[in-house]
Structure 1
Amino acid sequence: MPLDLLHKGHENATADAGPWLITLDAPSYLPVMQHAKNRALREEFYRAYLSRASSGELDNTAIIDQILKLRLEKAKLLGYRNYAEVSMATKMATVETADELLEKLRSASWAPAVQDIEDLKSFAKDQGAAEADSLTHWDITFWSERLRESKYDINEEELRPYFSLPKVMDGLFGLAKTLFGIDVAPADGVAPVWNSDVRFYCIKDSSGNPTAYFYFDPYSRPSEKRDGAWMDEVFSRSRVMAQKGSSVRLPVAQMVCNQTPPVGDKPSLMTFREVETVFHEFGHALQHMLTKEDEGLVAGIRNIEWDAVELPSQFMENWCYHRGREPSPEPLLRHNGLLVATA
């Protein structure tokens, strides 16, 4: 749930009894929207979240307007009608095919979405909710979670004990070994890190030879870390940049997430979405690290169409679910229809 005030210096704060500092970062914001019974509190959080950087000293409105103006100017100078065409020039899709896909999704999902809202209203009314006939943005997540609990007798929070970070990472690395024949070994201390929570790992081939390295920075740190999750390169694989005595410089990646930090001596307990995110980012990292290309400018994720670069990450995400045949030996345990990492 919300981050406690221990790190903010509140002398009486405890993890169990609070008081807590609830930020607009996802590990705090999302649980509030899912579970806070106080509708006014949910509205306050929703409006605050949607209006970030839109007023006061941090108002970015004028900057956004300027960016849009300059993007259109750039497109015209390059002979395009708009910036969307500039963006799509380096992707597999085109503006027309993207529009076509969006319309297919809209037309296919409209009727089910309308029915979902009606089901939600009916459920809220059955529960005696005053807002049942006027559900709005700050109600949908809360009542969706209650409906899911009612249907399946489980909520996302109750899945957390099955997804402790060490078990998830063991399952992920076991899966990588099964699929790609690689071993992921801790390499803490081999390279400097920017925070004590950051881990450093070595990728080894079937002969035990190092082929790549990566940093993993898993936890939310609102004071110094932006929202979301991402993978990026530290070094690309490169023959030209190899050190003396080496034939190639090995690739190094970074995986950064914003999941719930551990409390006390307990490990970080992840939501299923956070599990998906780790698998997703590791897919990106694998494309960067498992490349055999020695020319740095085209190695790994470099010079890949920016929609095509999502294919490895989506591939890895699919292993979080029970979809068809599972790898053997199984690095994951099926639980309630999900593939849950085991120690």
Structure 2
Amino acid sequence: MAFSFFGRRILSKRTFFPNSVRNNGYIVLVPEIGEDLPEKNPLVQNDGLPEFNNITIENCMAAVAKQTLDFEAGVQNIENSLEEKGTDNIFNDVFRVLEEMGAPLDMTWGLSKTLYLGNSILMPTKSYLAIHDRAKKARATKFNSLFIYENVKNELQKTNSNYSDEEKRVLKKFALEGKLNGLELSDSKKVEMRQCLNKLAAERTQFKQKVDICTKQFSHNLHDNVVVRDFPLELLRSIASNPTKPLQGPWKITLQPNVYMPVMEHCPDREVRWNIWQALVNRGSGYGDRDLATGIHLEEIRYARRDLAKLLGFETYADLSMETKMAGSIDNVNKMLTTLLERAKPAQDRELQSLYEFAVERGFQGGRIELWDVPYWRRKQQRSLFDYKEEDFKEYFPLPKVLEGLFHLCERLFNIVIKQRNNISTWHKDVKFYDIFEQHSSAPVAGFYIDPYARSDEKIRVQQSNGWMVGIQNQSRITETKPLAALVFNFEPPTGDKKSHLTFREVKYLFHKFGLALQHLLTRTNYSEVSGSSNIEWDAVEVSGHVLSHWLYNKEIIDSISCHCDSEDKLPSQMFASLMEAYKHLAGIDLSRELYLAALDLELHHSKDYWLDVVKKLWPEFRSFPLDKQDSHPCSFTQIFTEEWAAAYYSHIWSRMIAADVYSAFHEVQGDEQKILDVGKRFRDTFLALGGSSHPNRIFRRFRGRDPSPKALLSSLGLKKLPVEK
């Protein structure tokens, strides 16, 4: 019996198509036998790049159908060989064969994903989901092979082996995946595991469906022009009954992320803010429609995960989760949370008092600042204290200039050359392709596409995401394949002579995604199994992205990417200072919230206490706001109950902590160009080159010479330790 449980940690690290604004339609099955294909892959040109101009749904589906069958048959052949004669060289007889069989399938899968995100007319949702599910199922067979698993365990038990660190990571990856997929269980226990997984899948589906219904059902209509007087024009267009006349009402407020937060930031009517806020936190509570309550599903998901962990030999699901994390143990995570909270909680109290005094001076009459007040008064205070207006910064960041500065920074730090190559087959005329060269090298070592602009009729827009980094092809010396990636964004397109301009938030997003791309593109591993982000522990996978985005708080880098749309001036020093202050503004409130959610997630997957009791226990430890009686936020906490962040939500903070510590190595030598370049080389040789071929703890120690510390993150947020009063 084959299972695919934690194998998805490697095969699909991100759920990147939930809540699409398009109608997903129905899912079609990929045919088990594809149409006859020529020996040469019809999806790839002679130079090894995809033939995007001629790729169709039909040849993608035909290719993946044939390649999945070939891969599954190949795994069966490996099993037959191992059963008959065993192996004296597992890397030659097993892993080399798996690499060679998997490369074409991985390429087709990556191309299909890129097309789906870049042009959903060429690759509709229903077609991509069918390809994705079929490819994922086929690739999981190598982790569900008992013969491969037993041979891997035998190799790991040998004391006289001469395996490299990378080869040991490959072996350990297969051993861990096999264990977490239940290969050590008896037949009866495997049946229990299958029942548990089926139960878990059903409950997660119910949870998600009910939260989605609650989200879509709520709306609040505004008719008063005074209430919307400060709303940005883009927001008014998205909520107006007639988008062509955004200044005329009525306006419909929903809980969609692109509507909810901007409204909370700009709406002066406190009752309206409260109504929207309570609708958000009450989703799944059952206070309105009991049929949409998710509390029972929440507890059933916890029970099923606990049972699953017990079957696999772990005390709790949180303990099981730590097997695939850099942190390594619940104690290590809790120490990190406690250390950060020691600074964040007092800062939260000071910030709330300051925000309250500021609001009272401007007519606020509430007894205290509540959660639904913070976004509105935060924006007001930022403008008052720092003269910070987010829309003003957009005039300074034309996309071509931002890309030029970004590429120059990476070329300088990592000793590479990035060159655009023209006349390349792409899925849209806006898409550009770039080669990456080593200095003084004539042959490229990697390549990437950038598809920057939103296209409402073609591109999928997913909630809470403005773009993606897709690894189309992994680095592998075994198959002699070079890394290939695609960066797909939804930035504002140029109009007429006006270039595309980015908000600072979008600039940061671009830097972050490019940092992730660099880890994929500059990896130098032998095996694709541990190439780039493959096999990187979940709480470390975002580190390279965060490191690159840290450079945006360096004035030299801001100068290199800024150019006013009219005057062509660099971003003024005063505006840069404003940007720095805005970044730290209410950092204590923000960090305390993230720490609370991380602790809540971990406790829900570690203890047996009822979910509401867990909330009542943790809330006062982390939050300085009273807990509203009807606040049922765990009942809509989809990240941990329907997505892949169960007992892993802390990873967001952990990766930021690691990245801040890594960036501080650059900051410590600022002003000395040679030392900066030395740190850049060290970063490239460790985090970028090694990818998943070494444990992130070892990589960090090689880079920093010590274990990680939260000091750099706290310092970057301005959360300094206050002097002790005598």
So what's the TM-score if we normalise by structure 2?
A: 0.40
Tell which deviates more after alignment, 207-216 or 17-26. Answer: 17-26
Say if 2:237 is the partner of 1:237.
Answer: no
Contact preservation (8 Å) 1:280, 1:313:
yes
1:311-326 matches, within 5 Å, as 311-322=543-554
Match among 96, 99, 106 for residue 331 of structure 2 = 96
**For residues 66 and 151 of structure 1, what CA distance do their matches in structure 2 show?**
48
Task: Output one character per residue of 1:61-84: Cα deviation in whole Å (capped at 9) or x when no partner.
Answer: 665544433322221122212122
Tell which deviates more after alignment, 217-226 or 116-125. Answer: 217-226
Task: Output one character per residue of 1:280-321: Cα deviation in whole Å (capped at 9) or x when no partner.
Answer: 121111001111223111111112222232321221011100
Contact preservation (8 Å) 2:285, 2:294:
yes
C-alpha displacement at 1:168, in angstroms?
A: 2.3
Contact preservation (8 Å) 2:397, 2:501:
yes
Q: Hey, what does 2:270 align to over in structure 1?
A: 39
Q: Hey, what does 2:316 align to over in structure 1?
A: 82
Instruction: Specify the SS of the correspondent of 1:97.
Output: helix
Q: Which one has the bigger strand percentage?
A: 1
Q: Hey, what does 1:177 align to over in structure 2?
A: 411
Instruction: Specify the SS of the correspondent of 2:519.
Output: helix
C-alpha displacement at 1:322, in angstroms?
A: 2.1
Say if 2:248 is the partner of 1:14.
Answer: no
Alignment CA distance shift 1:278-1:294 (3 Å): same
CA RMSD, 1 decimal: 3.8
Q: What letter is aligned with 1:68?
A: R
Alignment CA distance shift 1:24-1:223 (3 Å): farther
Gaps of 5+ in 2: 1-231, 563-569, 580-726
Bigger radius of gyration, 1 or 2?
2
Q: Hey, what does 1:141 align to over in structure 2?
A: 375
1:98-113 matches, within 5 Å, as 98-113=333-348
Q: Hey, what does 2:302 align to over in structure 1?
A: 68
C-alpha displacement at 1:39, in angstroms?
A: 2.8
Say if 2:403 is the partner of 1:164.
Answer: no
Contact preservation (8 Å) 2:475, 2:523:
yes
Match among 358, 361, 365 for residue 126 of structure 1 = 361
Identical-pair percentage = 33
Alignment CA distance shift 1:54-1:218 (3 Å): farther
Q: What letter is aligned with 1:290?
A: L
Contact preservation (8 Å) 2:388, 2:578:
no
Contact preservation (8 Å) 2:397, 2:561:
no
Instruction: Specify the SS of the correspondent of 1:81.
Output: coil
**For residues 545 and 426 of structure 2, what CA distance do their matches in structure 1 show?**
27
Q: How many aligned residue pairs are there? A: 325
**For residues 212 and 164 of structure 1, what CA distance do their matches in structure 2 show?**
26
**For residues 209 and 294 of structure 1, what CA distance do their matches in structure 2 show?**
19
**For residues 272 and 197 of structure 1, what CA distance do their matches in structure 2 show?**
26
Contact preservation (8 Å) 1:4, 1:14:
no
Q: What letter is aligned with 2:475?
A: R
Contact preservation (8 Å) 1:174, 1:331:
no
Contact preservation (8 Å) 2:387, 2:578:
no
**For residues 275 and 339 of structure 2, what CA distance do their matches in structure 1 show?**
35
C-alpha displacement at 1:112, in angstroms?
A: 1.5
**For residues 82 and 272 of structure 1, what CA distance do their matches in structure 2 show?**
42
Task: Output one character per residue of 1:268-291: Cα deviation in whole Å (capped at 9) or x when no partner.
Answer: 543323322221121111001111
**For residues 235 and 423 of structure 2, what CA distance do their matches in structure 1 show?**
29
Say if 2:539 is the partner of 1:307.
Answer: yes
Instruction: Specify the SS of the correspondent of 1:130.
Output: coil
Alignment CA distance shift 1:47-1:272 (3 Å): farther
Contact preservation (8 Å) 1:322, 1:334:
no
Contact preservation (8 Å) 1:284, 1:312:
yes
Instruction: Specify the SS of the correspondent of 2:445.
Output: strand
Alignment CA distance shift 1:339-1:4 (3 Å): closer
Tell which deviates more after alignment, 227-236 or 140-149. Answer: 227-236
C-alpha displacement at 1:54, in angstroms?
A: 7.1
Instruction: Specify the SS of the correspondent of 2:434.
Output: strand
Contact preservation (8 Å) 2:235, 2:262:
no
Q: What letter is aligned with 1:104?
A: T
**For residues 48 and 189 of structure 1, what CA distance do their matches in structure 2 show?**
51
1:177-216 matches, within 5 Å, as 177-186=411-420, 190-193=424-427, 199-205=431-437, 206=439, 207=441, 209-216=443-450
Instruction: Specify the SS of the correspondent of 1:237.
Output: coil
C-alpha displacement at 1:213, in angstroms?
A: 3.0
**For residues 260 and 429 of structure 2, what CA distance do their matches in structure 1 show?**
22
**For residues 433 and 463 of structure 2, what CA distance do their matches in structure 1 show?**
23
Q: Hey, what does 2:521 align to over in structure 1?
A: 289
Tell which deviates more after alignment, 57-66 or 282-291. Answer: 57-66
Q: What letter is aligned with 1:13?
A: P
Instruction: Specify the SS of the correspondent of 2:372.
Output: helix
Instruction: Specify the SS of the correspondent of 1:337.
Output: helix
Gaps of 5+ in 1: 243-247
Q: What letter is aligned with 1:236?
A: N
**For residues 171 and 217 of structure 1, what CA distance do their matches in structure 2 show?**
18
So what's the TM-score if we normalise by structure 1?
A: 0.78
Instruction: Specify the SS of the correspondent of 1:231.
Output: strand
Q: Hey, what does 2:464 align to over in structure 1?
A: 227
**For residues 515 and 275 of structure 2, what CA distance do their matches in structure 1 show?**
37
Instruction: Specify the SS of the correspondent of 2:526.
Output: coil
Q: Which one has the bigger helix percentage?
A: 2
